[in-house]
Amino acid sequence: MESHPRHHRILIIGGGNGGLSIAGRLRRGGVTDIAVVEPRDDHVFAPFQSHIAGGLVRASQAVRRQADVTPRGVAWIRDRVVEVDPAAQTVVLGSGEAVEYEHLVVAVGLETRYDSVPGLAEAMQRPDGVSSYTFELAAKASPALRDLRTGTVIFVQQPEPASAAGVAQKPMYLACDWWRRIGRLSDIRVVFVTPEPSAFPVPAISDELQRKLDEYGVETRFGADLREVRPERNEIVVERGAETEVIAYDLLHAAPPQSPPDWIAASGLADDDDPHGFVAVDPSTLRSQSFANVWALGDAASVDTLRSGGAIRTQAKILTRNLLAVLAGDQPAARYDGYTVCPITVSRHTVVFAEFDRDLRLAPTVPGWKTLYRERRFSFVLDRYVLPWVYWHLILQGRA
Ligand SMILES: Cc1cc2nc3c(=O)[nH]c(=O)nc-3n(C[C@H](O)[C@H](O)[C@H](O)COP(=O)(O)OP(=O)(O)OC[C@H]3O[C@@H](n4cnc5c(N)ncnc54)[C@H](O)[C@@H]3O)c2cc1C
């Protein structure tokens, strides 16, 4: 007897922030036969990794079982996609099984590439190599930063493309504030290395962060690329234009380079001229320009704005509206303006809440509060308590 491949009306690749938001929203919109492909057993709330590294929350507070956060009525395929054949409307799973779809939503996030800088991956295996960008390394960062009393600590921000690049600075400010509170900040040399020309691409927010860098006495290396780590000598090599500098460290906190999974480009879902291989979508409608039944959002999509969970909240609304319209035989009319947000904890009780659009114009969401981006206790409460609750209880269920 001939066996038919499994088939779903809506197939979502990735059960992270974007994938589950869409699954929940479509389900609430009355769509049936939705499946999510996700290989992990545990779902991690990535923004808490910064708080874990900075010693504000325990690692266990960032994790829920995938089975518990997958919206009710949505099938979970516990596997990973290794290939998509958009012409045949089929994906191939790691198990070798093929799954057919009517509409495909890609939400697979970015992969960390520690191995793209010589010595970086090796440095992260040592006690003095940590990073908020990987769950286990964030947990290792917490006691390492807390217990440091003297020496040099280097914080490296990764180049774009990245997942909320600016949040690489969060553990640095949290650690500085901690050392200041216990009277050790003046004994610790803090160096911040970033490929960006300033602390943040939006000038008003950059000024706010620079004020904190000055306040903590952080040495900055702007426009500096991390070229090599020499773990056996505890040194990093950075390049600024024609200048090369070697900086010794006692502790290295490094956000790694990132990129979308390779199979996206290999499956023909990326633009040929995109060196990074993002899923090519119209950044306004989030629909593929080559395949009318392929959609994407989040870190792996060509959304043309700073990638963040806050951006996904808006993207999920737009994508759902457009996909529901297409399912009903209409044109996708909703438009994404590139709204994004990057909350940066600048002390253990204040945050700089950076909200802006794809033209880097400030875009505060609290009506009438144009200066929400300034350092505030209010936005700390939002970032530390309100948004995590909203994430677990509303966003992942497609309710917000
Ligand atoms: C340390 C850190 C701190 C951050 N802080 C903030 C913050 O404060 N505020 C904010 O707004 N944003 C923040 N972000 C960004 C935010 O977390 C991301 O933008 C968001 O999680 C991206 O969602 P996504 O759905 O695109 O990807 P993810 O949430 O990463 O989900 C992708 C999912 O796809 C799965 N997957 C991968 N490959 C495959 C495959 N081949 N087959 C099937 N499934 C696959 C993965 O297992 C994963 O579960 C932070 C990110 C990091 C890393």
pLDDT tens for each residue of 19-50 = 999 999 999 999 999 999 999 999 999 999 99
Going along the chain from its start, the domains and CATH numbers come out as 6-39+78-110+260-336 (3.50.50.60), 112-258+340-390 (3.50.50.60)
Tell me the CA–centroid distance for residue 378 and ligand 1, in Å.
25
Paired tokens of 293: 């039944």
Please tell me if the CB atom of residue 341 comes closer than 6 angstroms to any atom of ligand 1: yes
Strand, coil or helix: what is 337?
coil
Phi–psi pair at 109, nearest 5 degrees = 65, -165
Per-residue pLDDT at 366: 83
Please tell me if the CB atom of residue 81 comes closer than 6 angstroms to any atom of ligand 1: yes
First to last CA, the chain: 46
Per-residue pLDDT at 370: 85
Which residue numbers in the chain have pLDDT < 70?
A: 1-2
Please tell me if the CB atom of residue 108 comes closer than 6 angstroms to any atom of ligand 1: yes
Tell me the CA–centroid distance for residue 298 and ligand 1, in Å.
8
Per-residue pLDDT at 4: 81
37 residue type, one letter? V
Please tell me if the CB atom of residue 307 comes closer than 6 angstroms to any atom of ligand 1: yes
> Is the Cβ–Cβ distance between 396 and 71 less than 8 Å?
yes
Per-residue pLDDT at 396: 96
Which of 49, 79, 91, 108 to mutate to test ligand 1, by most ligand atoms within 8 A of the CB atom? Answer: 108
pLDDT tens for each residue of 324-357 = 999 999 999 999 999 999 999 999 999 999 999 9
> Is the Cβ–Cβ distance between 98 and 5 less than 8 Å?
yes
The model's pTM: 0.97
Query: Distance between CA atoms of 42 and 271, rounded to whole angstroms?
Result: 32
Strand, coil or helix: what is 87?
coil
Per-residue pLDDT at 5: 86
Please tell me if the CB atom of residue 45 comes closer than 6 angstroms to any atom of ligand 1: no
Query: Distance between CA atoms of 274 and 53, rounded to whole angstroms?
Result: 33
> Is the Cβ–Cβ distance between 134 and 115 less than 8 Å?
no
Strands 219-221 and 111-112, how do they pair? unpaired
Strand partners, 91: 84, 99
